[in-house]
Structure 1
C-alpha cells in the first residue's frame, strides 16, 4: 500500500523543503475523498474555491466549444496538484471543467484556508511561490510541444508520461487531449504497433 502522506510530502519538498510541522498544518486542511469516474469537481461557469491533489486515478480539464466539441486541455495523474487557478485567483467563473475519468483518490484543500496559511507561514508561501513558477514553466513547455510536435510525437510523449493510458481512458478522450480525431489516433497507433 502506498503511503500517500510520505509521497505527498516528498512532492511538496521537491518544490520547497517544508518542515514536518508545516507539512502537518497543510495536511490538516486537506480532506481525502474517494471520487467515482465521471464526477465533475469544477464545472464551466462555476467559481472554484478548492485546490486538489490527485493520489490515484486520472482526470482531465476540458473546454466545451460552441459546437459541442470537447477539447481536453490537461490530463492529471498521481501525484499532481491541480485547480482552476484563474478562477480561484480572480474569483471569476471557470472556463474549464475538471472531471474524473477513472475512480480517484483526491485531496481537497480549501483555498481560503490555504491562503491563510500562506499569510501566516513563510514556508507555505515559499512553497506556493515555487509551485506557481513550476506551473508557468510547464505551461510554456506544453505550448512549445503543441506548437512544434506532430500528432505522433505528442502521442509518444503522452505514452512516455502515462504508459498504460489506453487501459485507463477511452480513445476519444486521448484523441481530444492530442487535438486530433479518434480516426487519426487509430492510424498513428496502427503504424506504431
Structure 2
C-alpha cells in the first residue's frame, strides 16, 4: 500500500478515489538543500507534504538576524498558512535544510475540494488541528521552560537533532546563542 495514502488515512479516513484526486492537484518534487520554498513577502498558492528531508521556517529581521520558528520532519505538512488563508504575502521563509522529497499541493484547488466534499474538509480540519496542537506545545515550551529544558524537549522530539540540524539553527530555534547552546551541550555531556 502507498505510504502517503497510509499517512493520510492515519489522519482521517479517505478513499482511494479521494487520494487519486489529491495526487492530481499535487506535483512530486525533489528539492536540494538551501532552497527557499516560500520567500519572505511572497504571495504563495502552495502547501507541501514533506516525505523526506528537513525544512525550517524562519523570520528575518531588517538587520538580517534570523529566528527559526519551526523545523519540519517527514511526514508533515508545510506552508505559510496565514498567508494562504488571507491571500497575503508570507511573513516567513520556508527553506530546505537537507535535500527533500515533497508533494507540492495547490492550496486553492484543495480548498475547492473541501467545499465540494466533506471527506476533504475532514482531512483539512484534522491537519489544522494537528498544526494547532504543535504550535500550542511550542508556545508552552517557550513560556515555561528554560533553555536547557527547551533543548532537551527538542532532542526528545528529534533524537538525532545535533547531527541533522546545524548548531546555529538549533540555537535560534531555542532563542539562545550558539555559545549558550554549546555550554548546555557540554554540561549535559558531563552529567
Q: Give the TM-score normalised by structure 1.
A: 0.93
- Pairing of 1:21-60 with structure 2 (within 5 A): 21-60=17-56
Q: Provide Cα deviations, 1:31-83, integer angstroms capped at 9, x if missing partner.
A: 11110110000011001210101111111010011332100000001000011
Of 129-138 and 180-189, more deviation after overlay is shown by 129-138
Cα-Cα RMSD: 1.3
Deviation at 1:130, TM superposition (A): 1.9
1: CA distance between counterparts of 2:88 and 2:102?
A: 23
d(CA) in 2 for partners of 1:61, 1:134: 17
Q: What corresponds to 1:144 in structure 2?
A: 140
Aligned counterparts of 1:162 and 1:149: Cα–Cα separation in 2? 17
- Rounded to whole Å, the distance in 2 between the matches of 1:27 and 1:154 is 37
Residue 64 of structure 2 is matched in structure 1 by 68
Give the number of equivalent residue pairs.
189
Q: Which moved more, 1:180-189 or 1:129-138?
A: 129-138
Alignment partner of 2:2: what SS? helix
> Tell me, which stretches of 5 or more residues in structure 1 are unaligned?
none
Aligned to 2:131: 135
Q: Which runs of 5 or more residues in structure 2 are unaligned?
A: none
Q: Which moved more, 1:26-35 or 1:77-86?
A: 26-35
Aligned equivalents of 2:131 and 2:162: distance in 1? Answer: 26
Per the alignment, residue 96 of structure 1 pairs with: 92
| Aligned equivalents of 1:56, 1:17: Cα separation in 2 | 23
Correspondence 1:12 to 2:8: yes
> TM-score by structure 2 length?
0.94
In 1, Cα distance between equivalents of 2:4 and 2:174: 28
In structure 1, distance between residues paired with 2:188 and 2:3: 34
Structure 1 residues 173-192: aligned runs within 5 Å = 173-192=169-188
